[in-house]
Amino acid sequence: MDQQKIDRLRAEKIAPQTHLINGRHVPASDGGTMDVTSPIDGARLTTMARGTAEDMQAATAAARAAFEDGRWADQPPSARKNVMLKWADLIEANALELAVLGVRDNGTEIGMALKAEPGSAAGSIRYYAEALDKVYGEIAPTGHDVMGLIHKEPVGVVGAIIPWNFPLMIGAWKLGPALAMGNSVVLKPAETASLTLLRLVELAHEAGLPDGVLNVVTGEGAVVGEAMGLSMDIDVLAFTGSGATGRRLLEYAARSNLKRVYLELGGKSPNIVFADAPNLDEAAKVTAMGIFRNSGQVCVAGSRLLVDASIQDDFTAAVVKAAEALRVGDPLVLDNHIGAVHSERQLAQNLQFIETGVAEGGSLLTGGTRLLEDTGGTYMAPTVISDVQPQATLAQREVFGPVLAVSSFSDEAEAIAIANATDYGLAGAVWTANLSRAQRMVRAVRTGVMHVNTYGGADGTVPLGGVGQSGNGHDKSLHALDKYINLKTAWIKL
């Protein structure tokens, strides 16, 4: 990457942003706007439309009309595929622009942002473009006098609510399969990170996506998110975010049309290190990045370190050393490893969790403070707290910040018990040279993703989803297509 080019993109002014409904830029129905503030320096970047329930209704009506007249759903698979492939190409061609825009909006370090945001988004769109013409119906094994056919049809209108931490990546996880199957979509970005998704949809239209098939309404979740949840005209709702919001969306579905609701609600993921791990120094470095990348604002972050008591002191010291070697600062400076916490609110919440963790008996080994306050940005030191008991707040509640809770275990059974002692089940890891132990841990730890001798990584070919209060349904892989199709049986007498 070229630092000078990054700096030029950083300096570009951002025009006031509006909704994208039926292929047109439109302001909020009441003219309301919201300031967009950068976590890098606290500066006001631009404004965006503060959506209303009426705006969401207009977007949903546009999506419904587009679906019903078949302008996208009835196109041959090859035609939809060509549009989506062109869209992926445009994302790649504009990758640095998108990455810098996103960093200005949400604070992710540029090296990670470039790969995880436009890079991942382009890959997801291309993956589902290539998959869409390979989805076949079925012929049931019936008798000779009847034929049973199973058709796979688009569900209709999909509502997608996207979080602020990786809007392009997570947005593409939902847009890719939903559009590939012929659905129309209404997209609601996080009110604090909408800029890149608005640009993504502009690129979709540039690639040839028909008007009305993909619409974006910006604004507050309590207003436009609620309107989406209560809509009688949205058939499926896909959400990534907090458990509290996920519960409200389920309530809205029950109060409206019983729409299917798929939820990815975060986790409290255990990173389990046994004394026989093949390379403890490497494990310590990966452990640090497994929690501190993107300032810990990663759904699958390894926020609980469970370490074999026989190596606890030495291994924890190695993790602390790795944490203290990370440079925190301006996320658009290539030499920095860790960027900004997303907002003042999130930073205050992180610091409160640390106070609680220490008050409940934890030992603060490093970090625990705000950094670079004079910049106006929201930066925080990578934090390690040891002696965290399994039932402590820091072991039970998702911080969503750069805070690692360390606990110890004496044997495999205790490691499993501690790992499973939360309501969550999104991700986890085990470090061991014992293949049999690795297999036992993969089976025993209740989670949707389990890493062995690594933490993080996995491409679009494998699913991501959780168990327990980490949600339901899966993003990524061919399994994600199932959320956006209906099965229809035809029973034909011959």
Q: What are the pLDDT tens digits along the chain (494 aa)?
A: 799 999 999 999 999 999 999 999 999 999 999 999 999 999 999 999 999 999 999 999 999 999 999 999 999 999 999 999 999 999 999 999 999 999 999 999 999 999 999 999 999 999 999 999 999 999 999 988 999 999 999 999 999 999 999 999 999 999 999 999 999 999 999 999 999 999 999 999 999 999 999 999 999 999 999 999 999 999 999 999 999 999 999 999 999 999 999 999 989 999 999 999 999 999 999 999 999 999 999 999 999 999 999 999 999 999 999 999 999 999 999 999 999 999 999 999 999 999 999 999 999 999 999 999 999 999 999 999 999 999 999 999 999 999 999 999 999 999 999 999 999 999 999 999 999 999 999 999 999 999 999 999 889 999 999 999 999 999 999 999 999 999 999 999 99
412's enclosing H/E stretch is: helix 412-419
Pairing of strands 33-37, 44-49: antiparallel
Amino acid at 125: I
What 3-state class would DSSP assign to 254?
Answer: helix
**Dihedrals phi, psi of 456, to nearest 5 degrees:** 90, 165
Q: Is the domain 3-264+469-491 a CATH 3.30.200.20 member?
A: no
109 in active site = no
The DSSP 8-state label assigned to residue 304 in this structure reads E
Residue type (1 letter), 239: F
Task: Answer yes or no: are the C-beta atoms of 399 and 292 closer than 8 Å.
Answer: no
Render the burial of 391-423: b for 16+ CB within 10 Å, e for the rest. Answer: ebbbbbebbbbbbbbbbbbeebeebbebbbebe
Q: Which CATH superfamily is domain 270-457 in?
A: Aldehyde Dehydrogenase; Chain A, domain 2 (3.40.309.10)
Q: Cβ contacts of residue 469 below 8 Å, gap of 6+?
A: 243, 265, 423, 424, 425
Q: Where are the alpha helices (DSSP H) in 117-276?
A: 120-131, 167-180, 195-206, 226-230, 243-255
What region, left, alpha or beta, does residue 130 occupy, with left being phi > 0 and alpha being psi -120 to 50 degrees? alpha
Domain spans of the chain? 3-264+469-491, 270-457
What amino acid is encoded at 254 in this protein?
Answer: A
From the candidates 117, 191, 264, 398, which is the catalytic residue? Answer: 264
Residue 292's SS3 state is helix
